[in-house]
Structure 1
Amino acid sequence: MAEYDYDLFVIGGGSGGVRAARVAAGDAGAKVALAEEDRYGGTCVIRGCVPKKLMVFASEFADTAAVSAAYGWDIKKGDFSWPTLRGNIENELDRLEGIYRRLLKNSGVESFDARARLKDAHTVELSTGETKTAKTILVATGGRPTRPDIENAELGIVSDDIFHLDALPKSILVIGGGYIACEFACILHGLGVKVTQYYRGDQILRGFDDEARGLVADQMRERGIDLQINTNIASMNGTKVGKPVNVTDTHGKDHVFDMVFFATGRAPNSNDLGLEEAGVVLGRGGKVEVDATSKTAVDSVYAIGDVTDRVNLTPVAIREGMAFVQTVFHDNPTEVDHDLIPSAIFTQPEMGTVGLSEEDARAQEPIEVYATDFKPMRTSFAGQPDRVLMKLVVSKATRKVLGCHIVAPNAGEMIQLAGIAVKMGATKEDFDRTVAVHPTMSEEIVTMKTPVRTA
């Protein structure tokens, strides 16, 4: 009789947990089970990246009529149907969840539609009443949006709620200045909602390159979003979600909005999982503390993805899951490289970034900055005020490109390719030796010859 029911029990059916489970079962031949209390696919597939990006696409059609007229097309701006978009998104998510379930089944993973929590270092209890044992337990429970600690905060919605609204509000107040707040401010504006955004700091997108985030803020305002910095919500009153909310800001001004959307941060899903009782150490905000191979303070318990609050991106969770399988099932201790990870913010315009911001690089060593901002051909021809930014931050000593920052339509697509060069350690001269693709926006990244400033 086997010592344990399974070689591996995974708690959480998001991208990282599913990848680890099916690779351990399919490639390593392990006996694996996985428990998920909600929908398979996790934050990214069900309530994050995928539905958000579909909404981004939908919101971008708002400018089609205005831009197309300059090119000779007579396209009338029609009415937007939220129920149609919402229904189509729901159908797509159902399809993707089905794929996740089939991937697990075809890999031989036993799935439980239940909440799981640790009973001890090798035992999990399911909400169905069952108890299962495993040689190794992997916690991949992700994160969740949080609300601020103010009275009546329950009257506001969070990002999980936005995809399920019966109807879009006519006006909305977005609270926050991170990428989720800015993305949804742009999305909702594009879908016809009157958007006001409060951020308590001096500039949105804290932690990103100052010049890049400044251009994003300018362009958001240019498009009609009422972005107010150094401003927060002081109090709110109303009857229930979906009804008008009376808001007082930190300057003492009163406003009425159809809806309030909190994008004020996320927290690891580590509550009531029995982790600390089993000996797992939780850090600030409830994040699961792990070493470089994703092992917790308990030798048989590992954790990956947003619950560890390292780099909260879906591709990172997947890589952590793959590294976990190498470490545990192939006797090949593997660390995930969290350095120089490209990322994109799907505002309008998008921001793509990899490496150090100008500010962080300047604090580290002497640098040169190459940058240009200009009007892109496509919308400039149509008389639109759009601007884009191409920027390289370069080490004076090594000539390596320390950071690349792009603010432009499809910046996410561009930064993926630029990220390869930066990760490889390309120098400014490597960029210079690359022939430009003309006429494109991205050619500017290889044609900037003179630094705009040094530090």
Structure 2
Amino acid sequence: MTDFDYDLFVIGAGSGGVRASRIAASHGARVAVAEEFRIGGTCVIRGCVPKKLLVYASHFAHELHDASKYGWTLGDVSFDWNKLRDFVASDVDRLERAYTATLDNNKVEHFHERAAVAGPNTVRLASGREISAKFILIAVGAWPVMPEIDGAEHCITSNEVFHLPALPKRVVIQGAGYIALEFAGIFNALGSDVTVVNRSDKILRGYDHDLTDRLLPIMQARGIRFAFNRPIRRVEKSADGSLIVHAGEGDPIGADVVMVATGRRPKTDGLGLDTASVALGSGGEIPVDEYNRTSCSSIYAVGDVTDRVQLTPVAIREGHAFADTVFGSMPRTTAYDHIPSAVFSQPPLAAVGLTEAQAREVHGHVKVYTSDFRPMKNMFSEVMERGYYKLVVDPQTDKVLGVHMIGPDAPEILQAVAIAVKAGLTKAQFDETVALHPSMAEELVLMR
């Protein structure tokens, strides 16, 4: 491989690209990576990490309100968006430095400019320099989809939401997926007037219906308005800078910020993949085999750009598996079953395995166990929100096929439960486990 400038050139320094670079270098490969924006990728720079910090901050709105019932006397309470925004930005800076240090410590060279494929073994940097590599890895992720509507230039996506100059008084969010609902909860808790508009009457497609059926009225009770079957047709900007949203056939909706959260598309435009005959799917995604290889034998792809599962931990595993396979003589694939997921809505929900509907399609008859309870945390609150846990079980083998939860700390609890589901444990083994009392998690082993 010494005939090439590098053994591996990675395009994209997000979670998958950084992991692949580090592991390949640990196997002795000469590695370089190009990143056109900031090292760390979507999750670290403008995705799940800064968003989770906003979620934590928004929780204080409810905690402070309930504090008096716990005996606390508080003085004047106010919220400073600029302070929160700047703190989140500083933590993003810290994480970018940490990711950069990871590359440096593993002797991975990094180029801070856009790179594109210029052939099966060649990349071209924005500066015009061409670099050769035995293998090329595409790890550029995905990009928010902006619908083609009049006034789209007045809208923002999840990329820009972390940099708002002020907390908007009125927010309109288009979409009903996890990004839309998480930011609806954040802005609502921080004091904004929030309206969610969606082209259908469903939220969180892919999650168990019992969870979504419970989440919707809870969000509505918290003051979030939902306008279903009303996709945005156009957005107008008034003379005072405010926005008027025309959605569906209903009355116009006033807003200070319009956020579009209608999905993410693999970021393959202008990547030069045709120069190496790399095939693309209908959505711009890069199809790969089980070892992450594209239709070009020297080019691989991992993460959201493949549109298999758009989750950071999956991209990390794919990047690791690629590096072990190609440079470590340890062929590895990534398993896509039993991947836990969560929505950091308010309250959050989390799930692993099959939904009840999916289980019935696969197994026919299934057993369903549920627990409907009021979390102890809510006893001191005016909020009457209840928690709900659900186990979907195969009656033939007694294996737990899926676990679905909504309530405080559901994602934290689910991670441990996902181990049990992945291991194929049975309902009887859940029942044999002694409950940890008092906790919400104990409900998982008390369902009969």
Q: TM-score category by the smaller chain?
A: over 0.9
Q: Aligned residue for 2:143?
A: 144
Q: Aligned residue for 1:345?
A: 343
> How do 1:236-251 residues align onto structure 2 when only pairs under 5 Å count?
236-238=235-237, 243-251=241-249
In the TM superposition, residue 193 of structure 1 has moved relative to its aligned partner by 0.7
Cα distance in 2, alignment partners of residues 442 and 94 from structure 1: 35
Q: Aligned residue for 1:190?
A: 189
Residue correspondences, number:
447
Cα distance in 2, alignment partners of residues 382 and 412 from structure 1: 21
Segments of 5+ residues of structure 1 without an aligned counterpart are 450-455
Letter in 2 for 1:398: T
Cα distance, 1:63–1:417 mapped onto 2, change above 3 Å = same
- 3-state SS, counterpart of residue 51 of structure 1: helix
> How do 1:67-78 residues align onto structure 2 when only pairs under 5 Å count?
67-76=66-75, 78=77
Cα distance in 1, alignment partners of residues 228 and 41 from structure 2: 32
Is residue 67–residue 379 contact of structure 1 (8 Å, CA) maintained in 2?
A: no
Segments of 5+ residues of structure 2 without an aligned counterpart are none
Q: Aligned residue for 1:268?
A: 266
- 3-state SS, counterpart of residue 274 of structure 2: coil
In the TM superposition, residue 79 of structure 1 has moved relative to its aligned partner by 1.1
Residues 280-338 of structure 1: CA distance to partner in whole angstroms, max 9, x if unpaired?
01102100110011000000000000000011111110000110011101223211001
2:317 to 316, 319, 332: 319
Letter in 2 for 1:287: E
Q: Which moved more, 1:30-39 or 1:325-334?
A: 325-334
Cα distance, 1:31–1:239 mapped onto 2, change above 3 Å = farther
Q: Aligned residue for 2:42?
A: 43
In the TM superposition, residue 66 of structure 1 has moved relative to its aligned partner by 2.2
In the TM superposition, residue 268 of structure 1 has moved relative to its aligned partner by 0.5
Cα distance, 1:77–1:203 mapped onto 2, change above 3 Å = farther
Cα distance in 2, alignment partners of residues 289 and 268 from structure 1: 11
1:355 to 343, 353, 356: 353
Structure 1 segments of 4+ aligned residues over 4 angstroms from their partners = none
Residues 91-129 of structure 1: CA distance to partner in whole angstroms, max 9, x if unpaired?
111111011111101101111111100110000000122
Q: Aligned residue for 2:59?
A: 60
- 3-state SS, counterpart of residue 211 of structure 2: helix
- 3-state SS, counterpart of residue 111 of structure 1: strand
- 3-state SS, counterpart of residue 349 of structure 1: coil
In the TM superposition, residue 239 of structure 1 has moved relative to its aligned partner by 5.3
- 3-state SS, counterpart of residue 231 of structure 1: coil
Q: Aligned residue for 1:176?
A: 175
Q: Aligned residue for 1:386?
A: 385
Q: Aligned residue for 1:209?
A: 208
Tell me whether 1:282 sits opposite 2:280 in the alignment: yes
Is residue 71–residue 382 contact of structure 1 (8 Å, CA) maintained in 2?
A: no
Cα distance in 1, alignment partners of residues 383 and 251 from structure 2: 33
In the TM superposition, residue 375 of structure 1 has moved relative to its aligned partner by 1.4
Letter in 1 for 2:436: V
Letter in 2 for 1:61: F
Is residue 170–residue 194 contact of structure 1 (8 Å, CA) maintained in 2?
A: yes
In the TM superposition, residue 77 of structure 1 has moved relative to its aligned partner by 5.7
Taking structure 1 as the reference length, what is the TM-score of the superposition?
A: 0.96
Q: Aligned residue for 1:331?
A: 329
Cα distance, 1:220–1:77 mapped onto 2, change above 3 Å = farther
In the TM superposition, residue 74 of structure 1 has moved relative to its aligned partner by 1.2
Is residue 120–residue 275 contact of structure 2 (8 Å, CA) maintained in 1?
A: no
Cα distance in 1, alignment partners of residues 294 and 12 from structure 2: 16
- 3-state SS, counterpart of residue 275 of structure 2: coil
Residues 253-284 of structure 1: CA distance to partner in whole angstroms, max 9, x if unpaired?
22211121100110111111111221101102
Cα distance in 2, alignment partners of residues 383 and 2 from structure 1: 68
Q: Which moved more, 1:352-361 or 1:374-383?
A: 374-383
% identical equivalent positions: 48
Tell me whether 1:8 sits opposite 2:8 in the alignment: yes
- 3-state SS, counterpart of residue 135 of structure 1: strand
Q: Aligned residue for 2:19?
A: 19
Q: Aligned residue for 2:438?
A: 439
Cα distance in 1, alignment partners of residues 238 and 366 from structure 2: 55
Residues 402-446 of structure 1: CA distance to partner in whole angstroms, max 9, x if unpaired?
110010111110110000000000111111111111111111111
| Aligned Cα root-mean-square deviation (Å) | 1.4
Cα distance in 1, alignment partners of residues 208 and 241 from structure 2: 38
Cα distance in 1, alignment partners of residues 59 and 34 from structure 2: 38
> How do 1:289-308 residues align onto structure 2 when only pairs under 5 Å count?
289-308=287-306
- 3-state SS, counterpart of residue 397 of structure 1: coil
Cα distance in 2, alignment partners of residues 90 and 383 from structure 1: 34
In the TM superposition, residue 57 of structure 1 has moved relative to its aligned partner by 0.4
Cα distance in 2, alignment partners of residues 286 and 277 from structure 1: 16
Letter in 1 for 2:215: V
Cα distance in 1, alignment partners of residues 215 and 109 from structure 2: 46
Letter in 2 for 1:24: A
Q: Aligned residue for 2:228?
A: 229
Cα distance in 2, alignment partners of residues 46 and 175 from structure 1: 22
Residues 2-21 of structure 1: CA distance to partner in whole angstroms, max 9, x if unpaired?
31000000000101101110
